[in-house]
Structure 1
Amino acid sequence: MVHDFNRRQFLSVGAGFLLVSGVAVACGGTAAPNASSGTGSEVSGRTTKTPKKGGTLKMGLESDFNSFAPPTGQFDTAGLMYASTVFDPLMALDANGDAQPYLCKSMTPNADFTEFTVKLRDGIMFHDNTPLTSAEVVGALQAVQKAPLTAPALLNLASVTATDAMTVVMKTKTPWPAFPTYLTGQLGYVPSPKTIATPAGGLTPIGTGPFVFDEWVPGSHFYANANKNYWQKGLPYVDRVEYQTISDPTSRENSLLAGTIDIMHSSDSINLRDLKDKSEVQYLTDKGSTTGEPSMNMVMINLMAPVVSDLRIRQAISYGFDNATYQKVHNFGLYEPAYGLFPGNKDYDASAKGFPRYDQGKAKSLVQEYTKEKGKPVIEYATTNNPRNGETAQFVQQQWEAIGITVKIKQVEQVQLITNAVLGDYQTTGWRSFNAANPDANYVWWSPLTAAPIGKSALNFARNMDPEVETALQKGRTSLNKADRLAAYQKVNERFAVDLPYLFTSRTIWGCFAAKKVQNFNGQNLPDGKKALSFAGGLFYPTSTWLNA
């Protein structure tokens, strides 16, 4: 239904960098466990074959972003992929969704998780041949800690200090067991100081990553060449990567079939429907991923905006949305309707019972009650300007007008949609977000402390100010007891069923589709050789990908 900040969504902390330049698993033509190897089978994206060096990998992505600089970049899924091409994060997620050292060689907490000591790896160089030291790490973290866009995610970070040339100590205001996860995405990238010194630096990034920046034309393409002096010896395998922005999913699909691109991602069910049985295409999805919280498709609602600030209207549009029919019509029956934050997770089934299910009669009654008091409601639904999202908008319009609401559709570029969400310049919008290995990673999106009045920047885009949500989030963040943390996020789920800042429609099913020559596109490892988190949230990375051509 659209468009994350995911991604990410700088925080992308779960979907953020997660695979980063490491995602572990392996490759291109190997069938997934228990899957047939013929037409229509899903592959693992891994291989144990000897990789071949050379060639240009051409990738089709759904969107672009505004800057490579972590303090100012609106990193959605595509932005995270761009950034991880030239940057490395301090930490990355392993196959179980736990944060592990990446650019650093260790990150050690004290007993109550209020202090973390980071030791850097020796001998790592930026692309301009300057060394990585603790000074660059401190500078990068302090920059995102101060920037209006990213600072809300680090409200609990008290200080960042270099104790020697290769050691950084980070202190937090409260116990924060999940903090290392925050350093697996946008907040954990370590760019050269030149990249974050001026706005121009974010247009020509310098990092320590597997590829060196060559050219970026926003809205069109991004090119980078292999880093011949990359600190992970032997990587990357391809000589060059070329990303193309192809926002329309059908056009992206046609480019893959025509050979214009070699690999693409998509969260649109139309591509899964069209490509899953193509013999010339191999594919994998994140449908089976059970690590943490999945990315969710939803209608996001601005609780401070006119009309939808009234709970009766939020209840009405929730009861008045026929989700089962939407999944059959728009997603071809490939997605299951979802109610709540954690679909498919039995630990959260009870806490999701309060979310409204389709009841047109109840919806009409609520609208009639509102209309008698305040007049006929008018709501704007915003989405991006590709045809598929336009179809969703028309379905939403039809559903809500059937219960007595006038609905206006507004379609804009994805970057503008995100900007409008940040500033609260919307009533309802199609959205996709929340993919995280640890629910605490979504604190920044849900906390009343990260909300702000309309017109001011906020990362709680829905601007839900429920104090019970904040109490639960703090418990989930600070408790060292797993059962307490689970109870806390069950409470968050229950409160969202009451507040209705989101109308959830389905779990986002991301697919990665590749030509047969593309190998190991899901096969990266962490620096210590352990597998990184498998494909999830639309993120795949070219570091360990190679071409059998």
Structure 2
Amino acid sequence: MTNLTRRGLLAGTVAATAAGLLLPYGVAAQEAQPKVGGSMRIGMSGAATSDTLDPALFLSGPVIIGMLAVCNTLVEIDHTGKAVPDLAESVEPDAGAVIWTFKIRSDATFGDGKAVTAKDVIASFNHHRGEASKSGAKGPLEQVKDIRADGDHTVVFELNSGNADFATITADYHYLIMPANEDGTMNWQSGLGTGGYTLEHHDPGVRVSLKRRGDYFKKDRAWFETVEIIAISDPTARQNALMTGEVDVINAPDLATVGLLKRRPGISLVETTGTAHYTMPMLTNGAPLNDNNVRLALKYAINREEFLEKILHGYGKVANDTPITPANRYYAADLPQHSYDPDKAKFHLKQAGMDSLDIDLSTSETAFTGAVNAAQLFQQSAKACGINVTVKREPEDNYWTNVWMKKPFCMGYWNGRPTEDDMFSLTYASGAEWNESFWENEKFNQLLITARTELDDAKRREMYHEMQAIVSEDGGTIIPVFVNYVDAKNDKVAHGPVAGDRFFDGWKIVERWWAA
């Protein structure tokens, strides 16, 4: 058992509570006794022909779901929101949360039979570090001063300053552990991992095929003999594939017709509340969106209640242009709510020296199910605000490569993160690889660094509250709603309690579910 709760560093967190950060496997009661055997076919949105096995460049869900079954992270998030063991069997910080020591399991092996060592862990993390790195998860590791081995199965992370959330950050899906080359670089091209499955086939943007290893160090996981993850971008096509038995599980069903789907014999919904949110990023590095009055006008031009009702059909909650959700520890529920207000929108346009605004909004069903309809709703509500929105439906393939962070105003989706520091560091910090609006705010960046090292819980709460207020009022992304995760399955597959940090049981569906 870990000593991670020393001095109350993580006391009370959602993602890692004080009651023992790392718990034994199998602590959660399961609905039914799992068994080895059978297969599972997953129909999933979001694939692209640019998909890669390089975890630094992960963009789409199908390859991530597959590689999370092939590989492990140091810790993972369970159904209660706690960080629990994955490849690390224990984690211990020093008193200031500056030095973190991870003991790696000695019985873990890669798919080729080679034992995992500290060298592999170090190579996997260094893959995301350094000036040359293009990793989407580079930002959170900039706090790491040094990574070193202490024997074959112990890895020591030394941070520039204390971070009470650091262990939880290592659960991010980018930080998969893969073999090291002789020169100390990460051999991601091998497709090898320490997980319960081996990668049999990867056709980018089309299909991922997996096969059970049988020698996985977790004896209570990885039940299916084979798994296929099939890219089906269109939500209607996904639902039809589930109803006709072509697949066993789908993500993101069309919420407009999900009521009919769940009444279908042999089909049920799996709904969880987590940290997901829909976004409308505005590139702040060019006119007119570099003017915060223009951004505020757009924030007041969206009818969030209508969005919740017509796009999510109630499966979510109205948001307030900040990515910190009610599932997060320091969620600021008392911020003044941005509501649909044409008068305020017009006021801010005038403050920007405008009587009206013409703007293009790029969208695609790849952004999220219902994104095209959502853009059209916004187009309608914005008219009364003096804002003329032209909806541009973009090609679904390579949307994340060609549109997101490229077009001035578009639609997007985030699964969120279990800690405030991780979410803000990935998408709002100055220079972050995935700062989707290229937003810069000096006060916010100062608070981000200070809050990370603050061990007093009340002070941390105050700082994260102020950061949410800054993002809500000045940030470059409209966040109209928080989204419940809704998946659908047939009665051929079963599961225990479901994690809410991402859809598909925290993206660990392949490892955690079994044949009914």
Q: TM-score, normalised by structure 1?
A: 0.80
> How do residues 368-407 of structure 1 correspond to structure 2 at under 5 angstroms?
368=350, 370=352, 373=353, 377-385=357-365, 388-407=370-389
CA offset digits 1:108-152 (Å, max 9, x no partner): 111101111111111321111211111111111111113222322
Residue in structure 1 matched with residue 204 of structure 2 by the alignment: 218
Structure 1 CA distance for aligned equivalents of residues 412 and 219 of structure 2? 39
Structure 2 CA distance for aligned equivalents of residues 133 and 106 of structure 1? 15
Aligned residues: 486
Is the 2:62–2:230 contact (alpha carbons within 8 Å) kept by the matching residues of 1?
no
Structure 1 CA distance for aligned equivalents of residues 331 and 416 of structure 2? 16
* Residues 403, 211 of structure 1: alpha-carbon distance in 2 compared, 3 angstrom cutoff: same
Structure 1 segments unaligned to the other structure (5+ residues): 1-12, 27-45, 452-457, 524-532
Residue in structure 2 matched with residue 53 of structure 1 by the alignment: 36
Partner residue of 1:418 out of 400, 416, 420: 400
Residue in structure 1 matched with residue 11 of structure 2 by the alignment: none
Structure 1 CA distance for aligned equivalents of residues 309 and 260 of structure 2? 16
* Residues 415, 60 of structure 1: alpha-carbon distance in 2 compared, 3 angstrom cutoff: same
Residue in structure 2 matched with residue 519 of structure 1 by the alignment: 494
Partner residue of 1:116 out of 76, 100, 103: 100
Structure 2 segments unaligned to the other structure (5+ residues): 1-13
* Residues 536, 348 of structure 1: alpha-carbon distance in 2 compared, 3 angstrom cutoff: closer
Residue in structure 2 matched with residue 317 of structure 1 by the alignment: 298
Partner residue of 2:504 out of 520, 539, 547: 539
* Code of the aligned partner of 2:40: L
Percent sequence identity is: 20
Structure 2 CA distance for aligned equivalents of residues 441 and 196 of structure 1? 30
* Code of the aligned partner of 1:383: T
Q: Secondary structure at the match of 1:511?
A: strand
Residue in structure 1 matched with residue 236 of structure 2 by the alignment: 250
Residue in structure 1 matched with residue 9 of structure 2 by the alignment: none
Structure 2 CA distance for aligned equivalents of residues 428 and 93 of structure 1? 33
Tell me the CA shift for residue 97 of structure 1.
Answer: 2.4
> How do residues 140-155 of structure 1 correspond to structure 2 at under 5 angstroms?
140-146=124-130, 147-149=133-135, 150-155=137-142
Q: Secondary structure at the match of 1:470?
A: helix
Greater CA deviation, 331-340 or 357-366?
Answer: 331-340
Residue in structure 2 matched with residue 232 of structure 1 by the alignment: 218
* Residues 326, 48 of structure 1: alpha-carbon distance in 2 compared, 3 angstrom cutoff: closer
Tell me the CA shift for residue 262 of structure 1.
Answer: 0.5
**Residues 1:91 and 2:75 aligned together:** yes
CA offset digits 1:61-120 (Å, max 9, x no partner): 11225212222322x444431221110111112444232331021121111011111111
Structure 2 CA distance for aligned equivalents of residues 121 and 168 of structure 1? 11
CA offset digits 1:454-492 (Å, max 9, x no partner): xxxx32112221122122222321111111221111111
Residue in structure 1 matched with residue 147 of structure 2 by the alignment: 160
Q: Secondary structure at the match of 1:436?
A: coil
How large is the RMSD of aligned CA atoms in angstroms?
3.1
Higher relative contact order structure (alpha carbons within 8 Å, sequence separation ≥ 6): 1
Partner residue of 2:89 out of 102, 105, 109: 105
Is the 1:77–1:538 contact (alpha carbons within 8 Å) kept by the matching residues of 2?
no
* Code of the aligned partner of 2:55: P
Is the 2:77–2:501 contact (alpha carbons within 8 Å) kept by the matching residues of 1?
no
CA offset digits 1:246-304 (Å, max 9, x no partner): 111121111111100011121752354333333321222113x5xxxx22223222222
Residue in structure 2 matched with residue 459 of structure 1 by the alignment: 434
> How do residues 7-406 of structure 1 correspond to structure 2 at under 5 angstroms?
25=28, 46-49=30-33, 51-64=34-47, 66-74=51-59, 76-146=60-130, 147-149=133-135, 150-193=137-180, 202=188, 205-233=191-219, 235-266=221-252, 268-270=254-256, 272-287=258-273, 289=274, 294-341=275-322, 342=324, 344=326, 348=331, 351-353=334-336, 355-368=337-350, 370=352, 373=353, 377-385=357-365, 388-406=370-388
**Residues 1:505 and 2:480 aligned together:** yes
* Residues 333, 119 of structure 1: alpha-carbon distance in 2 compared, 3 angstrom cutoff: closer
* Residues 79, 24 of structure 1: alpha-carbon distance in 2 compared, 3 angstrom cutoff: farther
* Residues 187, 132 of structure 1: alpha-carbon distance in 2 compared, 3 angstrom cutoff: same
Structure 1 CA distance for aligned equivalents of residues 501 and 250 of structure 2? 14
Q: Secondary structure at the match of 1:224?
A: strand
Structure 1 CA distance for aligned equivalents of residues 105 and 317 of structure 2? 45
Q: TM-score, normalised by structure 2?
A: 0.85
CA offset digits 1:219-241 (Å, max 9, x no partner): 21110100122222364221100
